[in-house]
A and B are shown apart, each in its own frame.
Chain A
Amino acid sequence: MMESVHKDRIDYRNKIHPHKFALWISLGSILMMFVALTSAYVVKRAAGNWLDFELPQIFYYNTFVILLSSVFLQMSYKGFLKGKEYVYKYMLVAAFIAGLAFVVMQYKGWQALHQIGIDLSGNPSGSFIYVISGFHALHVLGGIVALIMALVYAFKLPYRPTYKRKNRFELVLHYWHFIGFLWVYLLLFLFTQ
């Protein structure tokens, strides 16, 4: 079976498929956007006129949700490779649901912020939280679209672990892990600031 995985591999110089390579490069670009936003946060904070407040708890809990979703997706991927079709399909569904839950809970987080009087258009210290987490949520939504496509493949097509499908799955997988760890970075950043 592993053989069929490698059969339709195009013979490029490097072992990494160009699409995956291109994805990693774009992840670097996405990372730079968030590095820029967090640097802006640091610079603005140092410039004074800054309102300090506690980040609502829900943002912390939510971190587990997105990490859990990553774990589900990883299990689904393992299932895909090992020919455990059932694991592959249902873990994919689980990852998808956890991903959706994350977005919903981020929304709850914004509501919690609003309740403690921190609004988007107030002091920049609050606006930053909205913009950073909102922009991150947008990237999660992008990932959810990718997951939906993966779900369509999983449920519509007969199960066949070809190289092409493995590669496509890996694109989603890597993006999703990246988005998850990006949130961990953002949260740790906001926590330590």
Chain B
Amino acid sequence: MEKNSLLIDDEKLLKEVGVDDHFHDHHEGDPYQSNFFSKYVFSMDHKMIAKQFLITGMFWAVIGAAMSVIFRMQLGFPEESMTWIKPLLGKWIVVDSAGVGHLATEFYYALVTMHGTIIVFFVLTAGLSGTFSNLLIPLQIGARDMASPLLNMLSYWFFFLAGVVMFLSLFVSTGPFSGGWVAYPPLSALPQASSGSGMGMTLWLVSLVFFVVSVLLGGINYITTVLNLRTKGMSMWRLPLTVWSFFITAIIGLLSFPVLVSGFLLLMADRSLGTSFYLSEIFINGQALDNVGGSPILYQHLFWFLGHPEVYIIILPAMGIASEVLSTHSRKPIFGYKAMVISIASIAFLSFLVWAHHMFMSGMNPFIANFFVIFTLIIAVPSAVKVFNWISTLYGGSIRLNSAMLFAIGFVSMFISGGLTGIYLGNSAIDIQMHDTYFVVAHFHIVMGVAAFLGMFAGIYHWFPKMYGRFLNETLGKLHFWGTMIGAYLIFWPMHYIGLAGVPRRYYKFDVFDTFSQFAELNQFITIVAVCTFFLQLIFIANFFHSMFFGKKVTTKNPWKSNTLEWTTPITPGHGNWPGNIPTVHRWPYDYSKDGFDFIPQIQPPLAGESENH
């Protein structure tokens, strides 16, 4: 690899052929970082906003996961007393005359609901795409910052506000919303329907509206930045797959979240203006309501028109991150770059045509269901193309099995396992048995929950050096990986069997169903593994914050020997990312192991005698 010395030094290239945009000409005190507040709190710098998204996302991940641990304990050990947790949960632990405390049933539902809402929206949407779109889009396309740093800052603060409102809802005396993360009416539409349907649901709605504003502001910015602020030479076909995935994710978000808003608008009207969009002929406590003419199925259509694209909003950034990490650490070009981009785009397109596969059991016309079955199964094609390309990228590579790489490989594994069960569920006839069972829970936790988490971890281990100028501890990283990977499979694999036997999801306990008693031990097992896996994540958190201050220092600009532009910035870039000129781009980002060179960064001009250049 001595040939690498033929490559021209970054600094020299930046000076000689970089673009001088006169960025630093007016440098009277950088307005972005002049004091503590404008640097760390109301920052407009995309890198700081990325860290804010990440750390807020981590906060929510701990809360969301802790909730699942609590309801899992109820599921796994329904007879055990939970009085010990009463100091934390207060009146939500009901102690009977024998002194045995149980989770209040309403609160069980509230926990399940909040767990879903928090993980789906706050962690895997904001924490994942918010973090990495912000960090990587400007750095990897060679821009000083986002198109509108102000909107970018607002995007974070709307997310923060959404979080505050949701957090408050945990403490209202009637409890947070408890009708499931999908918030179907009538539970969500009638304040008197359950204890969480009143104030809890109002706050849930307010929070999610703020959240949508955050997603839209972020998305507008990401799209505008990618299309307008790419540096010289950075054509669309030279974008790293990370940027492609963030870009298309943002487009999906801008097209689907507004539909959710419309669904919420009608829901709010039903809740407070007396309309009956989703309500008809309902009895509560033996009393007939005078709402007639509405249809709760209408809400399901509007919700899932967002809901299905939303799952791809979650997974596409993870796919982009995995592609980049896999290619860099196997020292090979990503296999089928164009096919990857086309797959992302076709997944995005198809994701708008399959929403009713969540509604096969809502009484829809089976002929209409067929349409959705077909499109659902077609989505498996671009998904399979991606999987094939990831594996081919690994094949024959000189693989570095570091933590980032392990997590990226783990992502591929989880995506395969969970994608396969999707194909079962996508058949409306099979779904009659599977719908709303633990089979669905297993499917989406593996393919979305765990896979997206693994993709996010891959990204964190890979780009931590860029964020903080230090490395995460590798030994702890590997422990974190193996523990998470094994734990996740042990938790979710058995759920397939439970689901096949017809055990419904979201039930508080199963003691009245004799046939399900056979799963009591399996349920205990799942709970025990879940608790262990949860505590294992604390290792990561400790590693994260410890390494931030005391981790091994990054000493070279490009520790992974990667091709993308973020590694041409100083080790800890200041505002504007490049101290002098911005780089110009002369090739695609995947020139690894080419013509005897280990890697050729994007800023290298064509080399003499080089084979075909992208």
Contacts and interface: CB of A to CB of B under 8 A. Distances in A.
Interface of A: 11-14, 16, 18-19, 21-22, 25-26, 28-30, 32-37, 39-40, 43-44, 47, 49-51, 120-121, 123-125, 127-128, 131, 135
B147 A18 contact: yes
- Ranked 9 nearest A-B pairs via Cβ: A121-B274, A36-B262, A32-B258, A36-B259, A127-B275, A33-B258, A18-B147, A49-B293, A29-B258
Given A40-B298, A49-B293, A120-B275, A25 B259 contact: no
Interface in B252-272: 254-259, 261-263, 265-266, 269
B220 A135 contact: no
A22 B220 contact: yes
Nearest to B259: A36
A125 to B, nearest CB: 8
B269 A127 contact: yes
A32 B302 CA distance: 12
Contacts of A121: 273-276
A183 B106 CA distance: 44
Contacts of B133: none
Given A14-B228, A36-B262, A36-B305, A131 B269 contact: yes
A50 B293 contact: yes
A127 B305 contact: no
Contacts of B257: 29
A121 B273 CA distance: 7
A159 B195 CA distance: 60
B315 interface: no
Contact of B224 (A22, A36, A49): A22
A25 B224 CA distance: 8
A29 to B, nearest CB: 5
A25 B277 contact: no
Contacts of B223: 25
Interface in B208-238: 216, 219-221, 223-225, 227-230
B280 interface: yes
A165 B224 CA distance: 21
Contacts of A50: 293
B413 interface: no
Most chain B C-beta atoms within 10 Å of own C-beta, residue among A14, A29, A51: A29
B294 interface: yes
B30 to A, nearest CB: 19
Nearest to A17: B228
B148 interface: yes
Contacts of A47: 295, 297-298
B292 interface: yes
Contact of B220 (A26, A32, A124, A131): A26
Contact of A123 (B148, B216, B293, B305): B293
Contacts of A28: 254-255
Contacts of B229: 12-13, 18
B298 A32 contact: no
B453 to A, nearest CB: 28
Given A40-B301, A123-B293, A124-B276, A22 B148 contact: yes
A123 to B, nearest CB: 5
Nearest to A123: B293
Chain B interface helix/strand/loop/mixed:
helix
Size category of the binding interface on chain B: 35 or more
Contact of A36 (B148, B297, B302): B302
21 contacts: A12-B228, A13-B229, A22-B148, A22-B151, A28-B255, A29-B216, A29-B255, A32-B255, A36-B262, A37-B265, A40-B266, A40-B302, A43-B295, A47-B298, A50-B293, A120-B274, A123-B276, A123-B293, A124-B294, A128-B277, A131-B269
B254 A29 contact: yes
Contacts, number: 114
Most chain A C-beta atoms within 10 Å of own C-beta, residue among B262, B269, B280, B292: B262
Chain A interface helix/strand/loop/mixed:
helix
Most chain A C-beta atoms within 10 Å of own C-beta, residue among B147, B220, B293, B294: B293
Interface in B164-223: 216, 219-221, 223
Contacts of A39: 301
A19 to B, nearest CB: 7
B221 A131 contact: no
A28 B219 CA distance: 12
B447 to A, nearest CB: 26
Contacts of B220: 22, 25-26, 29
A51 B292 CA distance: 11
Given A22-B220, A36-B262, A124-B275, A44 B298 contact: yes
Contacts of A16: 228
A45 to B, nearest CB: 10
Given A21-B228, A25-B223, A29-B254, A37 B216 contact: no
Contacts of B301: 39-40, 43
Interface string B536-574: 000000000000000000000000000000000000000
Contact of B221 (A22, A35, A49, A127): A22
A23 B70 CA distance: 45
B258 to A, nearest CB: 4
A32 B305 CA distance: 11
Contact of B258 (A22, A30, A123): A30
Contacts of B216: 26, 29
Contacts of A131: 265-266, 269, 275
A55 to B, nearest CB: 18
Interface string B347-371: 0000000000000000000000000
A34 B261 CA distance: 10
Given A25-B220, A29-B255, A36 B276 contact: no
B39 to A, nearest CB: 25
B280 A49 contact: yes
Given A33-B261, A36-B305, A120-B269, 7 more contacts: A18-B224, A21-B147, A35-B259, A39-B301, A40-B301, A124-B275, A124-B293
